[in-house]
Structure 1
Amino acid sequence: MPPLPTYTQQPWIETYSEIIDVRSPSEFAEDHLPGAINLPVLDDAERAEVGTIYEQVNPFNARKIGAALVAKNISQHLVQHFADKEKNYHPLVYCWRGGQRSNSMASVLSQIGWRVTLLAGGYKTYRAYVRQQLEDLPKKFTYQVMCGLTGSGKTYILRQMCKRGAQVLDLESLANHRGSLLGEEWQGKASPQPSQKYFESLLLQQLQSFNLEQPVWVESESLKIGSIYLPQSLWEKMKQASCVEIQLPITARVEFLLQTYSHLVNYPDILKAKLEKLKFRYGWQKLNEWYQWIDAGKWELFIEDILQFHYDPTYRKSIQRHFSNVERVLSIPDLCDRSVDQLLDYVCSNTYTIA
């Protein structure tokens, strides 16, 4: 007799052949269990159709139509995805609340003979776990914050530290944003940020990979990175942390920013549209001055001026308010490999294991 599906409320304590999210693609895109694949039993249009019939006609008709669509989609998954799975295949299956969608998939897979585990309570169980973990786990680490004016290469230096084995929490990478007005990531076109929920899933996954006995390095971010908010527990711990400030000559900062934000040089109209958001603070006279330098290709002049006029004063106020515990100030002439390596030799040799 085929095995019946079993249930778990703690899927993170066991290993599965695959984690299968049977929700619609839009639900999956908003957030999902780390490592999960999306095999929807109803796509977005089908789910909307069934929901409309349920509300406007009657639940019985909706269930009939829904069952036909679910059967069709599971059949396609059996042919396209499950055909080569071995007898010892053991998936975890979940939907929104652990209801009909995941049970439909699990019943079919169990009838074939596979050992299937269902997530009791579905995605909502996982989401409650993430919220609780992000309330508690960030408090257990000791943090080292890297500060420095815009263009000081903080993110670049931290990523080089990571290559040396330091524990680095790269919040800008997780949020897919550089944390400023012009910080939107660019890969041929604007690269969207993850949803708040998926960011939190990624953040928890990163924190759970860290050693509690080693410090965690993090950049002096704001509470909000683009459209993403940091968990309050992490933000409070960051503000209490000791800081290392990187100082770099402004000419070196300008050179580094020209390389880092080359996409805005290539798309000046997008740059000017973003700068227009500063009109209420500085007025049209200053914006027109920046626009003239952009149109004339005077990039060094524009970057140096916007640093001194906007970014540096804003950053200094933020640092004084949130990251005033600066224990070390480290000056380097530029961000060439030799300068960064010398900096890292010093920083890494002075990073201590937590007793």
Structure 2
Amino acid sequence: MSHKPTTVNELGEFTVLIDARSPAEYALDHIPGAINCPVLDDEERRIVGTTYVQVSAFEARKIGGAMVARNIARHLDGLFHDKPKEWRPLVYCWRGGMRSGSFVNWLRLVGWDAQQLKGGYKAWRAHVIEQIEQRAPQLQLRVLCGPTGSAKTRVLQALATEGEQVLDLEELAAHRGSVLGAMPGRPQPSQKGFETQLMHRLTSLDPARRVWVEAESRRIGRITVPEPLLQRLRESPVVEIAASPAARLDYLLRDYAWLGDDPQGLADKLGTLRELLPKEVLAQWQAWALEGALPLLFEALMAQHYDPLYARSQGRHLAGLPAAQRLQCEDLSDAGIQALARRIASLP
């Protein structure tokens, strides 16, 4: 049972991945599939750090050592009490230092073939960045564009049911990419968490087959699309959904109906546009929001905000837009979206 440095390329050789960092660090981002078994919780980590700065490294290690021992004992008594001798855990902390090292030593004393991830989470983070940089330029992207209300996200989902490869960036970012784009009940991940999910998705795609993706700006809510992927998206061939205004409005009223459940929240969201709109226009839109007059509000948003924004941004950012294949569409019902997806999937 050798004790050797383990790299991110060997993750699949272990029974379980153990993230020994604090819960807050784990929540920010972690290796997919890892379980959080902190050797210091958030408050303990704060106490040790403060002691290190204000007293001494020795006192910090003395206090921290007792905390680490108690927490490891708790994990041994609880989550690990029934693990067989053949169980092989891989443990990591921030940079492969004392937290994961202490954990591994105790697990090995028990008799398990525990190993420590060389470089810790920082090594994983470098791996994520490297993989995105390598894989994004290889993607055979086909970009779906169209003004707000063209059901692009739903079309992506329908394309997946037709056997096409899709990359749904808004699903990964938990945001629809507009002023009203926050998803109810789904906070956005951290930037690092988004990039980990993105890398995981990229590794599942076949680079020899086309991948459908929605046209996105540099930011999706507070998430930034990594530059290698953004550049690949902007230089790729484009398919434009040319849906009628009536079909788009009908779709928006169905897809964003939940906004009517919180009139004040909707009015507050619209307030973020105050720098872009005349005061009287914003006041009218917020009044419609408070009244629940969504048809009037959404129609005005399309005509006076989203469509002009689309006209300005897409031509600047999508090199393939002048040569785009345009598909007319008068029906964005569920059946209409599925039919549109079939038309797109049949394109050469």
TM-score, structure 2 as length reference: 0.96
The verdict on how the C-alpha distance between 1:157 and 1:31 changes in structure 2, with shifts beyond 3 A counting, is same
1:141 counterpart (139, 142, 148): 139
The one-letter code sitting in structure 1 at the alignment partner of 2:198 is L
* Deviations 1:305-337, CA, capped at 9 Å, x for gaps: 111000010011111111242431111212223
Letter in 1 for 2:36: N
When structure 1 is superposed on structure 2, of 149-158 and 246-255 the one drifting more is 246-255
1:237 maps to which residue?
232
1:81-128: CA deviation from partner (whole Å, max 9, x where unpaired) = 101212211111100111110011111111111111211111111111
The aligned amino acid for 1:181 is V
2:251–2:333 Cα contact (<8 Å) kept: no
Amino acid of the structure 2 residue aligned with 1:55: V
Which one of the candidate residues 252, 258, 266 is aligned to 2:261? 266
Q: Percent identity?
A: 43
- How far off its partner does 1:13 sit? 5.6
Q: Is the 8 A contact 2:236 2:319 kept in 1?
A: no
Q: Residues of 1 paired with 2:80 and 2:11: CA distance? A: 24
- How far has the Cα of 1:12 moved from its partner? 4.8
1:213-251: CA deviation from partner (whole Å, max 9, x where unpaired): 111110001111011111111111101111111122222
Matches within 5 A, 1:208-227: 208-227=203-222
1:171 aligned partner:
169
Map residues 176-325 of structure 1 onto 2, 5 A cutoff. 176-187=174-185, 191-325=186-320
Question: Structure 2: where are the runs of 5+ without partners?
Answer: none
8 Å CA contact 1:4, 1:110 repeated in 2: no
Q: 2:289 & 2:340 partners in 1: Cα distance?
A: 34
1:184 aligned partner, one-letter code? A
Q: Relative to 1, partners in 2 of residues 1:221 and 1:12: Cα closer, same or farther, differing over 3 Å?
A: farther
User: Which of 58, 61, 79 pairs up with 1:60?
Assistant: 58
- Distance across 1 between alignment mates of 2:329 and 2:228: 33
SS at match of 2:276: helix
Which deviates further from its counterpart, 133-142 or 166-175? Answer: 133-142
Q: Displacement of 1:346 after TM fit?
A: 2.0
The question of whether the paired residues in 2 share the 8 Å contact of 1:5 and 1:106 is answered with: no
Structure 1 residue 154 displacement after superposition:
0.1
RMSD, matched Cα = 1.4
Residues 335/56 of structure 1: CA separation in 2 closer, same or farther (3 Å cut) = same
Amino acid in structure 2 at the alignment position of 1:65:
I
Take 1:15 and 1:159, find their aligned partners in 2: how far apart are those partners? Answer: 33
Amino acid of the structure 1 residue aligned with 2:295 = E
| 1:84 matched to 2:82 | yes
Cα deviation, residue 196, structure 1: 0.6
> Match of 2:224, as an amino acid?
Y
Q: Secondary structure at the match of 1:101?
A: helix
1:72 equivalent in alignment to 2:70:
yes
Q: Partner of 1:338 in structure 2? A: 335
How many residues align structurally? Answer: 346
Who is 1:101 aligned against? Answer: 99
Aligned equivalents of 2:38, 2:252: Cα separation in 1 = 43
SS in 1 for 2:176: coil
CA contact (8 A) 1:5 1:107 kept: no
Matches of 1:165 and 1:112, distance apart in 2: 49
